[in-house]
Amino acid sequence: MAKWKKISIFLILSLLICICIVVSLVVRRPYRTVVAADSKICSEVGRDILKEGGSAADAAIAALLCTSVVNPHSTGIGGGSIFTIMSQNGTVKVINSRETVPKTIKEDLLSDCPCSQTGGINWMGVPGEIRGYERVHRLYGRLPWSRLFQPTIRLAREGVKMSKIVVRYLDGIKNRGARQLFEDEQGRMLKEGDTMKFEKLADTLEEIAENGADEFYTGETAKKLLCDMQQAGGSITLEDLRSVEVSEVEPWKVSLGDYTMYFPPPPSGAAVVSFILNVMEGYNLNPASLEGKERVLTYHRFVEACKFANAQRKLMKDPRFNNVTKAYAITRKEFADRIRKKITDDQTHDAQYYSVTPEVDTQGTSHVSVLDEDGMAVAVTSTINYMFGSGEFSPQTGVIFNNQLADFCYRADKIQTGERPPSSMAPMILRSTKTDDLIIIGGSGGTMITTGVSMALANYLWLGNSLEHSIAKPVVFVDGKNRLSFETDFDKDVIKALKDLKDTVKYQKYFYNVVNAISKQRGTIYAYSDVRKGGEAVGY
């Protein structure tokens, strides 16, 4: 009897060990190469490009093109993007193709800055997305240009199922021209599970695939775009399209423990993320920081850092037109030390204490992270700005127009031809100075990017969380008026404690702080695409 008891215990223990191993493999999902996009479909598109011998840059472009069809409210070729790319030899470059101010804009445009007034064609910037793809492909691509477009052309023609995420934001364009893209033959808005087709966009993508980026900026497609823009009341001209330039610049960088974090300079908002992380690093965080009474203090300090960060957003200006010395200064450890001394552990303060000017909060954008077998890493964030951009589109080309100039609201007194607007985009790559460990990360969600990416990195770097849990944990968002919003399932004791400290709390129905990331730790690659947007990373 004792013998059989020992055998039973042995078998049970063996079974438990096997289960643990299987669960570990499923949850941690190690890869050789991987794509983390906003949807499983688009991650698969990028993965297939990698399987064919494409580079991480090829895969990122293909995944973004796919996202313009699967999540058309977030991004598209009528917008702009910022790439942070680390080549196989460790060299990092930033490719910025964000939209620019056209030569002619509505007089006193910024006087219309309340959020309700920033939809429409008047707020459209000159799209840079396709020029950005062209530059990135020329520098880092391996497969033919046309190959990157083929999966999305097929998806646009055959159609994709409308997700609940897309449906959620359709009400925002019910009085806009772009609603036609999401209506059935009887003029009724499509529902979740219905098939979206974008046949005009497929035609446009075929022309660009065959004729190159010039097709969008000087070819027949450009003429169609301009015709539709002008009919909608826009002011962009052929000269504006011809003059689009892509910026290829060195990244800014900060040290975070063993890691060096590389990120785009302004007008990207990544410097603001670096500021928050510098502040939090000074508290010597560790897993115990989220235990007992310490967890309230940790979140309080994070919230306070985010409030001070809001005051820095107005510094994120185009360096080609503005002095960004002050913006660079906020990335330094000395600045973080000075601000940390102003954070009081037992109270919060009014907006004046943080030098905050209230700003409009947005929820758009899309992010893709890619790591290929040769070690090339790409973090790219792309946008048409607000949900469905301007709410207008080109019937002849299927392109949704951005409303990127709205990002100047409350951050600029004047704007200049060719200038890029400020942004919350933060595509970043972190590399260990001691090992080959990597983190490739970025987010979508407009102004939610800042707190979302900052919290995810703090969770991963210091608070003992896996990559998946670092991103999936409920978050607190600090908006442009320093009000707090808590995601469902956020720690109720922490919420109460922060309310007791006199923090202003605002209810928010949906959280769009979507983070897609990849890590390489001790030679093993993991990835996670945020489920808040229905994402799933795919690799092999």
Q: Is 63 helix (H, G, I), strand (E, B) or coil?
A: helix
- Of 279, 355, 361, 268, nearest to 316 by C-alpha is 268
CA distances from 55 to 259, 353, 418, 540 (A): 24, 48, 31, 14
The answer to whether 171 and 200 are in contact (CB under 8 A) is: no
Q: Is 473 helix (H, G, I), strand (E, B) or coil?
A: coil
Instruction: Annotate 272-284 with b (16+ C-beta within 10 A) or e (fewer).
Output: bbbbbbbbbbbbe
Among the options 365, 397, 450, 451, which is catalytic?
365
Which residues share a beta bridge with 521?
524
CA dihedral of residues 306, 312, 317, 323 (deg, nearest 10): -150
For 206, the enclosing helix (H) or strand (E) is helix 199-211
Q: List the binding residues.
A: 98, 383-385, 407, 423-424, 446
Residues in contact with 251: Cβ distance below 8 Å, sequence separation at least 6, in sequence order? 84, 92, 93, 94, 262, 263, 264, 265
For 439, the enclosing helix (H) or strand (E) is strand 438-444
One-letter identity of residue 324: V
Q: Which two tokens stand for residue 102?
A: 């056209």
The answer to whether 264 and 425 are in contact (CB under 8 A) is: yes
The answer to whether 298 and 283 are in contact (CB under 8 A) is: yes
The answer to whether 425 and 268 are in contact (CB under 8 A) is: yes
Instruction: Annotate 310-333 with b (16+ C-beta within 10 A) or e (fewer).
Output: bbbbbbbbbbebbebeebbebbee
Radius of gyration of the chain (CA): 23
For 140, the enclosing helix (H) or strand (E) is helix 129-140
Q: Is 285 helix (H, G, I), strand (E, B) or coil?
A: coil
**Sign of the alpha-carbon dihedral angle for 243, 246, 247, 248:** negative
Q: For residue 488, indicate whether it is catalytic.
A: no
DSSP of 224-276: HHHHHHHHTT----HHHHHT---EEEPPEEEEETTEEEEEPPTTSSHHHHHHH
Q: List the binding residues for L-glutamate.
A: 98, 383-385, 407, 423-424, 446
Return the active site residues: 365
